[in-house]
Amino acid sequence: MQLVAAGPHQSFNGWSRLHRDLAAALRPARSTPNPFGATLLTAGLLLAGIITWLMARDPSAVQQALADMLRQ
């Protein structure tokens, strides 16, 4: 399900009430954790680790690339 705001007449109070009512209605709902989430988390941490390791191997190249990127 997806909610899409349509039209110029939007109310923050209305969206807040919808959020509050949905949270209350869904509070008793239980579900099992999705194992795919752990896979994505592991892949993301692995990529971040590889990037950090590659940057730490050659800090002068990182500094030069940053300087080139920020140069106007």
Enumerate the domain spans of the chain: 35-72
Query: Residue 4 has what pLDDT?
Result: 82
Q: Rounded CA gap, 47 and 36, in Å?
A: 17
Contact 55, 62 (CB under 8 A): yes
Query: Residue 72 has what pLDDT?
Result: 60
**Per-position pLDDT tens, the chain of length 72:** 687 888 888 888 988 999 999 999 999 999 888 889 999 999 999 999 999 999 999 999 999 999 999 996
Give 11's Cβ-side CA count (13 Å radius): 5
Global pTM?
0.53
Cα distances (angstroms) measured from residue 14 to each of 6, 9, 19, 25, 40? 13, 11, 9, 16, 34
Query: Residue 48 has what pLDDT?
Result: 98
Q: Where are the alpha helices (DSSP H) in 1-72?
A: 12-26, 35-57, 59-70
Query: Residue 9 has what pLDDT?
Result: 84
The structure tokens 């892949």 sit at: 43
